[in-house]
Structure 1
Amino acid sequence: MKKGELTRRRIVERSAPVFNTKGYAGASMSDLVVVTGLEKGGIYNHFGSKEELALEAFDYATGIMRERLREALEAKEGTLNCLFAVVEVLGTVAEDPPVAGGCPVLNTAVEADDAYPALKERAAGAIDDWLRLVGREVKEGVKGGELSPRVDPRAVASVVVATLEGAVMLSRLHDDPAHMRRAVEHLKNYLRSLGREGA
């Protein structure tokens, strides 16, 4: 990796926790100067705008989550084991976020809403990736006979992702990871029930 690429990567790695903790609006260039050790001009030498840096910082944080999911799924066989792995990985975000500040997807989605369309689009893309991942696993389980043929992969994906992101929010608001632990246990029971007759 060239020196410029290394510097750019270092800026992203050090800025990601600032954006994730303070939000896009709350993260000042002064904050970014402090964490990167570069002057404002040095940062702008690598990024055309604060938004460009925020987008790359978001991609960096969600990339860590994507890698955690990939590693967890690598050694798993069977639909339920794969789905449990996804639930467990996403369930760690409250206590072990990819960067300081909690779940970057939830944080960005809440802050961006309509104020920052590019960030909102990135957050929606990350959620869509999770929905597709869960939906694909469920579809494979139905196809392979592990899950009931009446199971709707899109509905299951929606329930799983919405439950986990809601649990992240409750865990952070109340500073109590028990909300996430309950959600993970509930989702595992829910997923187990999809293979039973009458699901």
Structure 2
Amino acid sequence: MSKGLSKSERTRQFIIETTADIFNTKGYVGTSMSDLTTATGLTKGSIYGNFENKEEVAIAAFDYNLEKLRKIILQRMTSASTYHDKLMVYAQVYHSFKRSPFPEGGCPILNTAVEADDTNNQLKDRAAKAVIRWQKSIINLIQGGINSGEFSSNVDANNVALSMIALIEGGIMIARVTSQPANLDEVLKTVSKLIEGLKAH
């Protein structure tokens, strides 16, 4: 938790950090107020003293989980020297989605997008923006690889970006619903092949 925060900011941050895994595992609808009070040890009044409603806590928890994931990816990308290796970070990180330091409950984008599709516009909007940001970051990496001569100049960066995201998120969904992590491994092999296919010959 950050130092130099006011007492109310510290309490707010504590609520977010403590409930982030619950929302990511149970979802917005599945998370009850008693889940939040039990996890934090705070009263309902204390939680609502820091947040307007449960939705606001859920949005903050989603942002927290997304930032956690983003930091893991950026940390690994920093030590990757080629654009190929930077893109491969996505396959490597999501390969370990069931293990720490990945947020408990899996991918927050997938979880939120599936649940909030028809039930919560604000959470749906958060998930949509996360997908668009992810798409842009992949496109930027591919463009960087094209500019440096590492990737073929006729690569359709947008198509590859969307395909990578669809494969990764679809692979996680299949692995979870079938309780077969090996299914995700198979899908991630396709992601790796897709990245390998970008190389200039």
Structure 1 length as normaliser, TM-score?
A: 0.93
> Contact 2:109/2:130 (CA < 8 Å) preserved in 1?
yes
State the AA in 2 paired with 1:73: M
- Equivalent positions of 1:5-154 (< 5 A) are 5-96=9-100, 98-154=102-158
Secondary structure in structure 1 of the residue aligned to 2:162 = helix
Q: CA deviation at 1:48?
A: 0.8
Deviation, 1:196, is: 4.6
Amino acid at match of 1:101: G
- By how many angstroms is 1:87 displaced? 2.3
2:123 counterpart letter in structure 1: L
Q: RMSD of the TM alignment (CA)? A: 1.4
- Measure the CA separation in 2 of the matches of 1:49 and 1:98: 27
C-alpha separation in 2, matches of 1:165 and 1:94? 13
Identical positions, percent:
38
Distance in structure 1 (CA, Å) of the matches to 2:165 and 2:101: 16
Residues 162 and 97 of structure 1, relative CA distance in 2, 3 Å threshold: farther
Contact 2:160 2:194 in 1 (8 A): no
Letter in 2 for 1:185: K
Alpha-carbon distance between aligned partners in 1 of 2:100 and 2:174, rounded to the nearest angstrom: 15
CA contact (8 A) 2:25 2:106 kept: yes
Amino acid paired to 1:117: N
Structure 2 unaligned segments of length 5 or more: list them: none
- Are 1:170 and 2:162 counterparts? no
> 1:99 offset after TM fit, Å?
2.6
Kept after mapping to 1: 8 A contact 2:116/2:123: yes
Q: Are the aligned partners of 2:153 and 2:200 in contact in 1 as well (CA < 8 Å)?
A: no
Residue matched to 1:189? 193
Residue type of the alignment partner of 2:167? T
Q: Tell me by how many angstroms 1:97 deviates.
A: 6.8
SS at match of 1:160: helix
Q: What is the CA-CA distance between 1:90 and the residue it aligns to?
A: 3.0
Q: How many angstroms does 1:94 deviate by?
A: 4.2
**How many angstroms does 1:95 deviate by?**
4.3
Segments of structure 1 that go 5 or more residues without pairing to the other structure are none
Q: How many residues align?
A: 197
**TM superposition score normalised by structure 2:** 0.93
Counterpart CA distance in 2 for 1:91 and 1:154 is 23
